[in-house]
Structure 1
Amino acid sequence: MILDDLPLAVCCHHSGDIDKDSIEIAILSSAESENIIQLKTGVFFREVLAGCACSDDPSQAISYENGYCELHIKFDKDADKLEIVSQ
């Protein structure tokens, strides 16, 4: 799975660009039945905020804002199907 598969952009408040190296996932709850596995996860990340390079130093033009998103993950064992929805 890659970052683009996760619906994290809907949890962003600015640019929607996410620092891929900053992603941390915590499992908040889980449940399993005979056919279904369900997870509720908390995803912590940094959103990249592009700014003005007034000092002519492009490295100072980027700042970050912490972000958080809850994702519900459902895996259907019979259909071999994974569904991820942002909360």
Structure 2
Amino acid sequence: MIILKQALQDWASESFEQSLKQELMALDPALLPLQQGVQQGGYADGSNREFSLLTAVDCGKRIKVQVGVFFSEIIAGCSCGDDPATENVYCEFVLLIDKQTARTIIELN
């Protein structure tokens, strides 16, 4: 379960973006749908993630946030000398943050 408590507390303030990014970075990468965002059929490496806030909208009971994420994809078996290779990947997530509990659903956009 993902809970973004500080981001919810900072909603509608100048601190929201920073709080959101800090909480996303603190998450175990396995909780994020990074593997669904790979482009070469490799494996997502979430150790060097970088997030950017694209949009954030109050939708009544939830806050809908669109986030871009940069991360690395490890591609095994694609070259002889430098196997495995690493590629930079970009994808977008939609976060739905419940405004009462801070429980968050994260989906690949």
Task: With the length of structure 1 as denominator, give the TM-score of the two structures.
Answer: 0.77
1:13-71, CA deviations, whole angstroms, 9 ceiling, x for partnerless residues?
A: 211x222332111000112356322210001111011126856xxxx212111211110
SS at 1:20's partner residue? strand
The answer as to 2:62 corresponding to 1:25 is no
> Which structure has the highest strand share of the two?
1
- Measured in 2, the distance between the counterparts of 1:67 and 1:83 equals 22
> Which structure has the highest helix share of the two?
2
SS at 1:18's partner residue? strand
Q: Which runs of 5 or more structure 2 residues have no equivalent in the other structure?
A: 1-26
Code of the aligned partner of 2:100:
D
Q: Which has the larger radius of gyration?
A: 1
Percent identity (aligned): 29
Count of equivalent residues: 82
Q: 1:10, CA displacement in angstroms?
A: 1.1
**CA 1:54–1:36 in structure 2 vs 1: closer, same or farther (change >3 Å)?**
closer
Point out 4+ residue stretches in structure 1 off by more than 4 angstroms: 52-55
